[in-house]
Structure 1
Amino acid sequence: MPAAAWIVVLSAAASVSLSLGARQTFGLFLLPLGVEHGISATVLGASVAVHNLIWGLGQPIAGAMADRFGAGRVALTGAGIYAIGLLLPAFFPTPVALFVGIGVLTGLGTAAAGAGTVLGAVARAVPEHRRGDALGLASAGGSVGQAAMVPFAQWGIETGGTSFAFTLLAATMALALVICPRLEWRAPLRVPGRAPVGLAGLPALARRALADRDFALLTLGFFACGFQLAFLTVHLPAHLALCGLPTGLGVTALMLIGLFNIPGSWLCGRIGNVIRPEIALGAIYLARTVCIAIFAATVPSEWGTMIFAAAMGFIWLGTIPLTSAAIARRFGVADLGSLYGVCFLSHQIGGFIGAGAGAMVVDATGSYAAFWPVMLMVGLVAIASNWATRAPRGAVA
């Protein structure tokens, strides 16, 4: 790839690292917020659930704006909104501030600065035969952020409490001032004969895409991805603590997920160059479902948790480059940000339900035992929906 393309790929990876890395720490605050400020698990769970929903609702809009005006400007705006969302519960540790800051503002910030916005810039910057590799590398950036920010946030909680940790995470968003101008600062070059639809054409574009049987199946599978990952991100540390395992094990598990997903995302993106992305997606959901089934059926232990985290981490964000590649093969890259956003809304509805229902289950029963069978059923639906798709006949103009 030319040097200019590498700059876009690395800048996209850094932006994803900031936005996804910070949100992966939210589960660490679940128990400390209760101890320090009397905020129940349901409040944080509901806030993260709303975060997922707002992220999903904002993603098509952010993607359409990035397709039209350039991903860099949109991502920088998102980083600023994200920082405000983290500072709000830092200065006002109340349920309302948590709901508005974590639920609404960081949701909007992730939509604007996260993978759904910046991967369109990557796809436009690299040659088609290297697209899978580039999307995988950019997606792996989220794992770098997770591996780095999880211990960083845990150190902040242990050193100065939850407010101090939220402030530290907000300060990292200042790095966007250096990253985003190198991403795609100007409006992207138009594909010959194909201008992006922008916000005005987004509703019609979404209707046309969802009327396509195979895009609808791909979107249904993405629901399961959001459901499973949101539940594990928010509730895995608390689940381990309730099982009597060391508090630090949840931090270690989230770190392992991030570390192992760095090579995993790259490999998944590379596989998308060789086989049809939907087939690879079905295989990822199958592997996830098997891992969850084994973890739920065995007695929790430190080594078992670390093996589970490593296995899940290897395929954690691998769905992102594969889903982007599948959409690009069917519809081209001019509206990739918009179309990925439409598909991603389903992912975030799944995340909204997974995070929120998990919180209600643990508050009602004191454990997560009743939730694991639901995780398995959702995974089976994702496998079937992706493997039921048909190969595209060609990009839709």
Structure 2
Amino acid sequence: MASIGIDQRRLATGWRTPLVIIVCGCAIALLSFGPRSGLGFFVQPMSREFGWGRDVFGLALAVQNLLWGLGQPIAGAIADRFGVMRVMWVGAALYAAGLFLMSHGTTPLSLDMGAGVLVGFGLSGCSFNLVLSAFSKLLPPERRGVALGAGTAAGSFGQFLFAPFGVAMIDSFGWQAALSVFAALMLLILPLSLALSTPSVAATTEVPVADQQSFKTALAEAFGHRSYVLLVLGFFTCGFQLAFITVHLPAYLSDRGITTSTGGWVLASIGLFNIIGSLGVGWLQNLFPKRYILSVIYFTRALATVAFISFPITPFSAIAFGAISGLTWLSTVPPTSALIALMFGTRWFATLYGFSFVSHQVGGFLGVWLGGIVFEKFGSYTPIWWLSILFGVLSALINLPIVEAPVRRAVPQPT
């Protein structure tokens, strides 16, 4: 598109080369996803200190997932209109403030405000979703698939680093100090986001007539498109499964005699193998239909979960489950984002991906919240595991009818 060509010409004469954009974007994805993926390790020490049930912590992180999703299309629309960098600055500041409040809070309300509201809205403004949007707008199409996989993999590497790092910090210095360090690290996003600056709509003058869509027209077109709706529905399962495992798997393993340090390495293995999965899917989507890749991912998750809960839990089986889960963890993101860009172009990409992410995070809200509620009521996570399996199978089927082609859009003719 012409607007993409404008950005590429600007980059060619400045310091923001494609390599710099990818490296800085990956660093932002790593930093933003890392602390959030390690919050499950704070459930037990905070619950012991304040006498909370797991439903208290589960509600706070459920609110975080929900607000992350609800805030994403708003952040995306603002980024599409005024540029990515400004949104990332606000998001990073909210994220850091939420972690800092969480480290000093002593009531469920302060936990809900810190870990829930501030971190949730902060993530919507500085997470890998906006990184992928910047990649789609700033990089040429031939580099976009690999870059989307790399950005997603960087988030996974953040999980790989922050899970054992968080456990070590908690064991050595306490959970308050660990959260304070996490908050300080989020401020590094501010200088890194300079590389991902995208022009505002007013600054982009050479836009093709076919791309001159209003916000309302873009939404009406997307939600009237059957394939986009199916993609959004399938993405619900991804959020449900990932959020439930991220928050409740450490406690689930501890209940079955697995040490906290081993639980940290289980989540680290998810992050490590997700690097392989995300990069691999970023490459495979250039060779195979993206809808088939998504179906295989969801079905593989379902089979892995059945095997995991059907046999005794050992350190080996837990890490093996982490490895298999990692291969399919965020590998749904590259084909999902690529399909949206293919269907509708990149003009309103952040907005449309943001609305698909709402579905993802509604699933995440339910996965975290229901996990805490079910455990407090039945003393077991088993019903949620089987619900996760059912959703995996349904999403595998939902993605199959998706049509991988640009939407047919009437081009206004000059008078």
Q: TM-score range by the shorter chain?
A: over 0.9
Q: 1:238 is matched with which residue?
A: 251
1:136 to 149, 157, 164: 149
Is the 1:148–1:255 contact (alpha carbons within 8 Å) kept by the matching residues of 2? yes
Q: 1:390 is matched with which residue?
A: 403
Q: 1:349 is matched with which residue?
A: 362
The secondary structure found in structure 1 opposite 2:383 is: coil
Does residue 1:110 correspond to 2:126, yes or no? Answer: no
275-284 or 51-60, larger mean C-alpha shift:
275-284
Q: Deviations over 1:93-141 (max 9, x none)?
A: 3211110111111111111101221211101222212211111011111
Q: 1:21 is matched with which residue?
A: 34
1:302 to 304, 312, 315: 315
Does residue 1:260 correspond to 2:276, yes or no? Answer: no
Whole-Å Cα distance in 2 between the matches of residues 175 and 93 of structure 1?
27
Q: 1:160 is matched with which residue?
A: 173
Aligned-residue CA RMSD (Å): 1.8
Question: Rg: which structure is higher?
Answer: 2
Alpha-carbon distance change, 253 to 391 in structure 1, aligned in 2, over 3 angstroms: same
Q: 1:192 is matched with which residue?
A: 208
Offset of 1:394 from its aligned partner?
4.9
Q: Deviations over 1:145-195 (max 9, x none)?
A: 111111221122112322111111101112112211111254375643355
Is the 1:39–1:94 contact (alpha carbons within 8 Å) kept by the matching residues of 2? no
Is the 1:135–1:269 contact (alpha carbons within 8 Å) kept by the matching residues of 2? yes
Counterpart residue identity of residue 295, structure 2: G
Whole-Å Cα distance in 1 between the matches of residues 25 and 404 of structure 2?
29
Whole-Å Cα distance in 1 between the matches of residues 125 and 103 of structure 2?
22
Which residues of structure 2 form unaligned runs of 5+? Answer: 1-7
Q: 2:68 is matched with which residue?
A: 55
1:212 to 217, 222, 225: 225
Offset of 1:390 from its aligned partner?
2.2
Offset of 1:39 from its aligned partner?
2.4
The secondary structure found in structure 2 opposite 1:7 is: helix
Q: 1:311 is matched with which residue?
A: 324
Which residues of structure 1 form unaligned runs of 5+? Answer: none
Q: Deviations over 1:239-295 (max 9, x none)?
A: 001112212221111111111111211111111222222221111111111111111
* Structure 1 segments (4+ residues) deviating >6 Å: none
* Superposition pairs of residues 284-299 of structure 1, within 5 angstroms: 284-299=297-312
Whole-Å Cα distance in 2 between the matches of residues 208 and 395 of structure 1?
10
Alignment length, in residue pairs? 394
Whole-Å Cα distance in 1 between the matches of residues 408 and 267 of structure 2?
38
Q: 1:369 is matched with which residue?
A: 382
Is the 1:242–1:367 contact (alpha carbons within 8 Å) kept by the matching residues of 2? no
300-309 or 184-193, larger mean C-alpha shift:
184-193
Q: 1:95 is matched with which residue?
A: 108
> TM-score scaled to structure 2, two decimals?
0.91
Counterpart residue identity of residue 351, structure 2: S
